[in-house]
Chain A
Amino acid sequence: MEVIDLSWWQLALAAGLVVVLATCIYLARLGLAGSLLVAATRTAVQLALVGLVLEALFSVGSLLWVALMGLGMLLLAGREVMARQQRRLRGGWSFTIGTAAMFVSAFSVTVLTLVAVIGPTPWYEPQYAIPLLGMMLGNTMTGVALGLDRLTEGLWRQRQLVENRLMLGETWSSACGSIRREAMRSGLMPIINSMAAAGIVSLPGMMTGQILAGTAPALAVKYQILIMFTIAAGTGFGTFVAVSVASRRLFDHRERLRLDRLTSSTA
């Protein structure tokens, strides 16, 4: 089965819908029209560029370039995690913790999946490696960002409670236990929800794409299950690492709550 080609004017039709939406939002004074248009433009430009990069990468296909691409994606994801924090750790800790957590989880799970499960030759075959890593990073990023944001926000709001628990002689980890659990939950909820709703409420994007591209639904389903599980593992471990390290960092060697290590972003 051949995929039906999409031409640029057909895309322009879809873009027209977004413009109409933006106009309506503008007229209703919801104050979102600008960000909607910026986001839509970013989608178009970023994806077009990535398309070019991927075409080049597929034709080269060497480990070095795949690794460089992976590194670039990781750093951008780390920056995005940092940008999504209301209050972030000073001195580059937010970026470092987020990036390290994603490196540990998303990278290792992707490599494991490539080597042990899918097994293309060579194992870093960009056609498999890059989309897989992209999906892993995208989801892990959301989990890590939500988890960290919940953690810092929770500690900030409930500092009186946490300090009162410290005053009664609780250890730092027990004093912030409920906030850490809450942070872990919010990091993991999106993937738990999408696993629970997969196929019933929504047809996952990757599976839809494969079916559109002519893959037999049964095979597309297998890939989707694989992706869901690896995303769950990657997000879970990533959020776990990020929340653990960041919460440790917010207490010092005397187990004091150190909110002065947070800085609030006004941007």
Chain B
Amino acid sequence: MKEQRLSLDQLSTDLLQPASLEVAPGEIICLSGASGSGKTRLLRAIADLEPHGGTARLGHRAQGEMRGHAWRRQVMLVPAESAWWFDTVGEHLQQPQPEALAALGFSDEAGEWSVDRLSSGEKQRLALVRAMSFKPAALLLDEPTANLDPDTTRATENWLVECIHKRRLPALWVAHDQEQIERVADRHFHIADGRLEER
């Protein structure tokens, strides 16, 4: 898969004034901001899940040049709260992901686990594995470690950073924790008063 940059072109939501931004392949940009400042809305707009102004581009192709589902297949949003609809974890994955599961501390049988018995932390990590199994071209991560304890947080961070670098994915990462931002971010933007500003 060829590497592509993700760019925002005067993208705006109800909460955010038009903002432009370029994320290079393999680059991680962290987004922070008080709750309610519109971080999630921004990610949803980039994934084209809700009406918004301006556009986002993957390489040279704008959102509108692809069908909605095709865009989202490439520019994949992983929400903070994931939903599961089949009976077992494995049915949600595009193909078996033994390495990813192992890296996040899951045993080989995790694919056969019933989704009813997943804890919120397990759901969050498995949602990341699920998203990766679709081989996206860009990643939008909404607080990917919000429900995790410190050790698991570090393991998950490391795995995500490694994936993003290895696959050369442009990534936007919403984070609260300043230390996490320092660990993973190449650049850091803050949303306040409807503006996106680099820190």
Q: Which of A165, A167, A256 has the most CB of B within 10 A?
A: A167
A153: Cβ under 8 A from any B Cβ: no
Query: A171: which B residues are within 8 A, CB to CB?
Result: 67, 69
Cross-chain contact of B69 among A158, A164, A166, A252 (Cβ < 8 A) = A166
Please tell me which stretch of B3-11, B77-85, B101-109, B174-182 contacts chain A, meaning at least 4 of its Cβ atoms lie within 8 angstroms of it.
Answer: B77-85
Contact A161 B69 (CB under 8 A): no
Please tell me which stretch of B18-26, B47-55, B165-173 contacts chain A, meaning at least 4 of its Cβ atoms lie within 8 angstroms of it.
Answer: B47-55
Chain B interface residue count, Cβ-Cβ cutoff 8 angstroms = 24
Complex CA distance for A160 and B40, rounded to whole angstroms:
14
Given contacts A160-B83, A161-B83, contact A167 B68 (CB under 8 A): no
Contact B77 A167 (CB under 8 A): yes
Complex CA distance for A171 and B68, rounded to whole angstroms:
8
Cross-chain contact of B68 among A158, A161, A165, A172 (Cβ < 8 A) = A172
In the complex, residue of chain A having the shortest beta-carbon distance to the beta carbon of B81? A160
Query: A164: which B residues are within 8 A, CB to CB?
Result: 79, 82-83
Complex interface bits, A147-178 against B, C-beta within 8 A gives 1, otherwise 0: 00000000000101101111111111000001
Query: B73: which A residues are within 8 A, CB to CB?
Result: 168-169
In the complex, residue of chain B having the shortest beta-carbon distance to the beta carbon of A174? B69
Q: How far is the CB of B100 from chain A (nearest CB, A)?
A: 16
Complex CA distance for A96 and B183, rounded to whole angstroms:
56
Complex CA distance for A169 and B70, rounded to whole angstroms:
6
Q: Which of A164, A170, A253 has the most CB of B within 10 A?
A: A164
B72: Cβ under 8 A from any A Cβ: yes
Cross-chain contact of A256 among B68, B76, B83, B85 (Cβ < 8 A) = B68
Q: How far is the CB of A90 from chain B (nearest CB, A)?
A: 15
B130: Cβ under 8 A from any A Cβ: yes
Contact B51 A167 (CB under 8 A): no
Contact A168 B72 (CB under 8 A): yes
A255: Cβ under 8 A from any B Cβ: yes
B159: Cβ under 8 A from any A Cβ: no
Nearest 5 interchain pairs by C-beta: A169-B73, A255-B68, A161-B83, A164-B83, A254-B68
B interface residue numbers (CB < 8 A to A) = 47-51, 63, 67-70, 72-74, 76-79, 81-83, 85, 130-131, 134
